[in-house]
Structure 1
């Protein structure tokens, strides 16, 4: 059974068909890329997968469960987490607290328990602190746990965003242009991080990316979008050498 199966997905905005007949199948443990020129509809697909947009047509099935049109919070609890092209950390909170935000899906206490500081509050907070520090250690961020997120270098902010997403214990991790704004050395380190996350967490990963060196270096399969429709899909090397794909990126 596929980890993610998308069939005939479509959405329109004001009469404009932004995505039409989109299909994708990702197996458990795959590193999969979604690429295409600017404005092709890639982020719109991500927004439908995560419940930001409700599709007009089609279905989204995650690990055998139909999540089509569900709310963002319910989709996250079902097992999809994402990062964003423009980093969205809580920059005035500590590195540790940013990761703890993601842990609240699985570590909870009531508002009253928190206000009154009942024993369960301290128990759950201790559990979250421990788990958050374990995640930060994976990304070599444990020494910066008390830093404000805004004080981290750019590459480490990217790592923190991935760590926070992993804190929700997803089955599928969506990375939206994770290499955006990175220099070559940071991009190489990011590639190693993504591979590590896939292997260490037994994670299935879908990413949008414009850096073709990163895409060709880590993605096993690709789907190419152009004007909201699938242009090509298959093994990475085959897709990147497809004349239609080259034309879509480079023009006539």
Structure 2
């Protein structure tokens, strides 16, 4: 059974088809790339997968569970987490607290328990602190746990955003242009991080990326989107050498 199965989803804005009959199948444990020129509809796909937008038609399922029409919270609880092209950390919170935000779905306590600091509040907070530190240690961020997120270098902010997404305990991790704004050394380190996340957390990863070195270096399969439609999909090396793909990127 596929981890993610998308069948013929589409959405229009003001009569303009942003995504048209998009289909995709990703197997468990794959590193999969979604690429295409600016404006091709890639982020719209992510928004459809995470419930930010509701598809006009089509179906989405994760690990055999139907997600079509579900809310963002329901989809996250089902096992899809994402990062964003523009980093969306809580800049004034500590590194530790940013990760703890992602843990609340799985470590709940009531408002009353929080306000009055009842025993369950302290128990859950202790559990969350321990789990958050485990995740930070994986990304070598445990020594900066008390730093403000805004004080981390750019590359470490990217890692923190991934750690926070993993705190929701997903089955599928969506990375939206994770290498955006990175220098070549940071990108190389990011590639190692993504591979590690896949292997260490038994994770399936779908990423949007414009850095073709990163895509060719880690993605096993790729789907190319152009004007909201699938241009081609398949093994990464074959897709990146497809003349239609080269034309779409270079405008030839």
Fold shared per TM-score above 0.5: yes
Scaled by the length of structure 2, the TM-score of the pair is 1.00
Supply the distance in 1 between the matched residues of 2:57 and 2:35 (Cα, whole angstroms): 22
User: 1:91, 1:63 → 2: CA distance?
Assistant: 34
CA RMSD of aligned residues (A): 0.3
For the residues of structure 2 that align with 1:195 and 1:68, how far apart are their CA atoms? 29
Match of 1:11 in 2: 11
Measure how far apart 1:69 and its partner are. 1.5
- Tell me whether 1:94 sits opposite 2:83 in the alignment: no
Count of equivalent residues: 252
Q: Residue in 2 aligned with 1:191?
A: 191
Q: 2:72 aligned with 1:72, yes or no?
A: yes
Q: Secondary structure at the match of 1:194?
A: helix
Q: 1:24: how far off? A: 0.3
Unaligned runs of 5+ in 2: none
Give per-residue Cα distances to partners, 1:122-172, cap 9 Å, x unaligned.
000000000000000000000000000000000000000000000000000
Question: Which runs of structure 2 are paired with 1:212-251 in the superposition (5 Å)?
Answer: 212-251=212-251
Aligned to 1:31: 31
Structure 1 residue 251 displacement after superposition: 1.4
Runs of 4+ in 1 over 3 A off after TM superposition: none
Aligned equivalents of 1:162 and 1:105: distance in 2? 17
Q: Aligned equivalents of 2:128 and 2:86: distance in 1?
A: 26
- C-alpha displacement of 1:204: 0.1
Match of 1:41 in 2: 41
SS of the counterpart of 1:103?
coil
Following the alignment from structure 2 to structure 1, what is the Cα–Cα distance between the partners of residues 170 and 76?
A: 7
Q: Within 5 Å, which residues of 2 pair with 1:140-219?
A: 140-219=140-219
Alignment-derived partner of residue 20 in structure 1 = 20
List gaps (5 residues or longer) in structure 1.
none
Matched residue of 1:170: which SS?
Answer: coil
What does the per-residue CA deviation read over 1:39-76, in whole Å, with 9 as the maximum and x for residues that have no partner? 00000000000000000010000000010111101100
1:128 match: secondary structure: helix
Normalising by the residue count of structure 1, what TM-score does the alignment of the two structures yield? Answer: 1.00
CA–CA distance in structure 2, aligned partners of residues 130 and 168 of structure 1: 15
